[in-house]
Amino acid sequence: MAERPYIVGNWKMNGTRAMLSEARAIDRAAQRYMKVEVAVAPPYTLIHAVHKEAEQIGVGAQDCHAGPEGAHTGDINAPMVADAGAKFVILGHSERRQDHAETNDCINAKIESAIDAGLRVILCCGETLETRDAGKAEEFVLGQLKAALPKFEDPAERLTVAYEPIWAIGTGRTATADDIAAMHGAIRQLLVDTYGEEASAMVRILYGGSVKPENAREILATPEVGGALVGGASLSAESFLGIVVGASESDES
């Protein structure tokens, strides 16, 4: 990995205040691996508490509403998560696309609102097994990104892309290194075409889908993999830190 690896835990709909001890343990241990950028995205209810605990790690949200404050019962917008202490937001996750029928246009609007609120964005993309088996994975993923990528000129500090094949999420199944390298290479080319060589060079492309301490080193050593977006294995400090260690070692190789 050329750039500083970025390891992000997505806690999804997990975690009560009892999980703060895990966040604290992750934060303290991350201070020993300064070459790795470590972050967690807890549920909304824990953002502020994790932010108060965190000295080293970044804290983010898993979604935000695209609009300004107003009559939207149950919704939380980008300025609100920023106020709670979030520095980034995950947008376009396949679980949001499936559970809440989020379209690429809606995700694009959320990205614009997040950037306006000063948040960094992790934009997720990924295909179903059906789409992969039909030989259309690359076309599908690039289509998702083309429709959702914001049009700003300087993406370096603000944008991260996460490739998460849906069939690899929570299934224990990971894509092969060749599949990951091919998809990340295609995404890199799209970023170059969209933002230019220099501006896009700093945009990291994370891999997500059953990343664990046992497979992290190999995945993170794959060309164009700039880090990992981790679900299940981020829920315990021990397994999440195993991935952080893997990232620090693959950075040395």
**Residue indicated by tokens 């992969």:** 132
Of 170 and 196, CB closest to ligand 13P: 170
CA angle 61, 65, 66 (to 5 degrees): 120
* Strands, E assignment, the chain: 6-10, 37-41, 58-61, 88-91, 120-125, 159-163, 205-208, 227-230
Q: How far is CA 4 from CA 144, 173, 206, 251, in A?
A: 26, 26, 12, 8
Q: Does 53 engage in binding with ligand 13P (CB under 6 A)? A: no
Instruction: Convert 178-198 to b/e letters by CB count within 10 Å (16 or more is b).
Output: ebbebbbebbbebbeebbeee
**Closest CB to ligand 13P belongs to which residue?**
231
Region binding ligand 13P by CB under 6 A among candidate stretches 52-60, 69-77, 105-113, 230-238: 230-238
Amino acid at site 18: A
Total site size for ligand 13P, rule CB under 6 A? 14
Among 229, 237, 241, 247, binds ligand 13P (CB under 6 A): 229
**Which of the residues 152 through 171 are near ligand 13P (CB under 6 A)?**
164, 169-170
d(CA 193, CA 142): 12
Instruction: Enter the DSSP assignment of 32.
Output: T
Q: Strand, helix or coil at 159? A: strand
Q: Cβ atoms within 10 A of the Cβ of 99, count?
A: 10
Is 164 annotated in the active site?
yes
Please identify which residue in 231, 241, 244, 248 interacts with ligand 13P, judged by CB under 6 A. 231
Residues 178-217 that bind ligand 13P (CB under 6 A): 208-211
Distance from first CA to last CA of the chain, Å, rounded?
Answer: 9
Q: Find the binder of ligand 13P among 1, 6, 7, 10 (CB under 6 A).
A: 10
Question: x/- binding map, residues 78-117, to ligand 13P, per CB under 6 A?
Answer: ---------------x------------------------
CB 70, min distance to ligand 13P, A: 29
Contact between 230 and ligand 13P (CB under 6 A)? yes
**Catalytic residue (choose from 37, 95, 102, 164):** 164
Catalytic residue among 93, 95, 102, 224: 93
Q: Does 60 bind ligand 13P (CB under 6 A)?
A: no
Catalytic residue positions, numbered? 93, 164
Residues that bind ligand 13P in the complex, under the rule CB under 6 A: 10, 93, 164, 169-170, 208-211, 229-233
